[in-house]
Amino acid sequence: MIGGNESCTAGPIPMSYLTCLTYILGEWTGVEHIEDYLSYAVYLLWVLFPLAVVFLLPGVLIILLYISILLLHIYKRKNELKEAYSNDFWDGGKQMLATLWDGHGRIWHGYELHGAENIPEGPGLIVFYHGATPADYIYFVARLLIQKKRSCLVVADHFVFKLPGFKILLNVHGVMHGPKEECVSALKNGCLLAIAPGGVREALFSDEMYTIIWGNRKGFAQVAIDAKVPIIPMFTQNVREGIRTLGGIKILRTLYEHTRLPLVPLYGGFPVKLRTFIGEPIPYEPNVTAEELTEKTKAAVQGLIEKHQKIPGNIFRALMERFQTQKKDD
């Protein structure tokens, strides 16, 4: 057995481990001067490693989502015999996932929630700006459940319901397709409901300028009018610095408009500071039109962006804010 500081030999010439390995590899492949190719490969690995990391980090969110699904399945199997004796079978499961996601938000982003007192005791429609991923909304829901013991339903894009294994997660957390009648019914039953009018288009194709991309969508406003509930604007600071997209590439925008599938690559996963701000509610007015309420809501969300977000967004600045000890005032 060769000791740690010994060398191996090829014929009469002593060689170090690395040289020995290179020699053996060259003999095996028959490639001359293989050490030059290996040096080039190591150089490429060194250059491309940071790039690979920023594209792989967003996968952590996917892993956490599937961990959440696994935990729900475990919880279901463990407690299915108690279902007949419980008012809400999933209460414990929701608390478990809230703890998981709130812990991730605190550790990775120093997540803060401001303005929770603006959420009414009764029903309300939360309207928020959509980042590249809904991670900030998940952190908000987790903190809301832990602090206020309240759940919040949400309207999601149709493709979410086609993701493998997601059915149990979507059902437990009240994720809806979003027909107007179903939304109105949920609000009339006293629920909180959240929606991002910009949806996937805003998630993928907005940028560090935090441009609101709602198009002509005003269905959410009609839902609030029909249900006679207030609208609560919401925005998360630095949400586009945590994870960004390649949505500025025109061919990807064209591809999305033709397929309606989110095929735009994401990158980042940076531990930037995230703060969610809840604005003052826009009260129900019986004589307001959907168009007028849409404009009011858009102005309220834009106001939160202008007040709490430095534009253009900057990843380095957002990283520095993560390590500031002083909390931001509401």
**Ordered domains of the chain (ranges, CATH):** 48-76+89-321 (3.40.1130)
State how far the Cα of 211 lies from the Cα of 231, in Å rounded to an integer: 20
pLDDT, tens digit (0-9, with 9 covering 90-100), for 85-103: 455 677 888 888 898 899 8
> Each residue of 271-308: pLDDT tens digit?
999 999 999 999 999 999 999 999 999 999 999 999 99
Work out the average pLDDT over 214-225.
Answer: 95
Q: Mind listing the pLDDT tens digit for each residue in 225-274?
A: 999 999 999 999 999 999 999 999 999 999 999 998 899 999 999 999 99
Q: Confirm if 270 and 315 have CB atoms less than 8 A apart.
A: yes
Q: What is the mean pLDDT of the chain?
A: 85
What pLDDT was estimated at residue 205? 96
pLDDT digits (tens, 9 = 90+) for 14-72: 556 556 666 666 666 666 666 665 665 666 666 666 666 666 777 778 888 888 888 88
Please state the length of the chain: 330
Q: Tell me, yes or no, if the pTM score tops 0.85.
A: no
Q: Read off the pLDDT of residues 108-166 as tens digits, 9 standing for 90 and up.
A: 999 999 999 999 999 999 999 999 999 999 999 999 999 999 999 999 998 899 889 99
Distance CA 123, CA 189 (A): 8
pLDDT at residue number 5:
42
Q: How far is it, in rounded angstroms, from Cα 21 to Cα 197?
A: 59
- CB–CB of 213/293 below 8 Å? no
57 compared with 82, residue with greater pLDDT: 57
Beta-ladder partners of 282: 231
Identify the pLDDT of residue 23: 64
* Residues catalogued as catalytic: 130
In the 8-state DSSP scheme, what is residue 243? E
Query: Which of 179, 176, 192 minimizes the C-alpha distance to 126?
Result: 192
Is the CB of residue 203 less than 8 Å from the CB of residue 247?
no
